[in-house]
Amino acid sequence: MVDALLQHALDRTIDYYPVGVLPTGTGKTIVAASIIRNFSDLNLPSLIVAPSVILLKQHQTTLADFVHADKFRLLQPHREMPGIAVRSANDTKDSVTFATCATVCRHFDKLTTTLVDRKLAIVWDEVHFGINGATGRVIHSLWSSKKALLMGLTATPSWHRLNKVVYRKDASELIETGVMASPVVRAIRTQSVLNARLSHGDIAKESLVKLARDERRNKLIVAEIQAGLHKGRFKRVLLFAIDIQHARTLNDALGKAGISSSVVDSKRTKESNDAAIAGFRQGKLNVLINVTKLAIG
């Protein structure tokens, strides 16, 4: 995978940037660390971009474990939000900078002025996140101006005219080879009817919202979780809700059923979300319900 990404990224005659696809949990941070190590051999400073600080910290830990500590200078100028800082010409060590998508947008001017006559190697993790938004426009402008080499990593590729999947490992192949565990699929027959409308190759949210408001269907979900916990089929349950109202509805129903649960969503404070995640990890909660908050990293 690393060779395929590097080969395409270094070929400036192509009109796309390469994307590698791996299922979640199969080592994208290790792939990123290996790419950074290769870039250091080319004397290129590197920038790792990801949607969240939590994911960036995973990259930082993996990189520190994966390479010799004296070879890299890991720059993280800000306490909470990693910013952009590119090494000066007289630095003797390769530098790796970590930035969230939001930080890339905020510090775009600083990034472009620092890179006069220099190239930056960008590894964009969860590249599907924001590819068609402001972050995508900023990074694409750097890449198009030949000031940056660019490659993306994701488990869920999305279409964009400037990217191309050059390497893919499907979950089915990794399950067959023992890299991933075989999933146990359990279907709940709810009898609900989904009249799905498609949007950009996926089910439109308004179609799913009708399911979220189906009281009988929600009761069946809670009953299945309750039975699974009671019979020992489940130890902990990570539940993906359709929207915030759906998450709150399920959380209330689980509480009434005597099941400890909490919600992670964008309307709660960071402290509340962090406490819920910590409680789930520590086994204090049986169920953690989230709305698009735990789908990356």
* CATH value at residue 227: 3.40.50.300
Task: Answer for the pair 12, 155: CB distance below 8 angstroms, yes or no.
Answer: no
Among 139, 161, 176, the domain-final residue is 176
Residue 148 within a domain: yes
**Whether residues 147 and 267 fall in one domain:** no
pLDDT given for residue 106 in this prediction: 77
pLDDT, block means (10 residues), the chain with 297 residues: 83 81 85 86 82 82 71 52 47 70 75 60 84 77 78 83 84 86 83 73 76 91 95 92 94 97 90 91 94 64
pLDDT given for residue 91 in this prediction: 56
Residue 182 within a domain: no
**Whether residues 93 and 51 fall in one domain:** yes
From residue 184, alpha-carbon distances to 26, 233, 284 in Å are 18, 11, 24
**Whether residues 149 and 230 fall in one domain:** no
Residue 198 within a domain: no
**Whether residues 151 and 17 fall in one domain:** yes
Domain hosting 96: range is 2-176
Among 135, 160, 176, the domain-final residue is 176
Cα–chain center distance at 27: 12
Q: What sections of 118-170 are H helices per DSSP?
A: 134-144
**Whether residues 100 and 237 fall in one domain:** no
**Whether residues 53 and 119 fall in one domain:** yes
Task: Answer for the pair 264, 288: CB distance below 8 angstroms, yes or no.
Answer: yes
**Whether residues 28 and 82 fall in one domain:** yes
**Whether residues 124 and 76 fall in one domain:** yes
pTM: 0.69
Residue 36 within a domain: yes
pLDDT given for residue 68 in this prediction: 58
The number of folded domains in the chain is: 2
Residue 260 within a domain: yes
Residue 185 within a domain: no
∠ Cα 66 123 11 (to 5°): 110
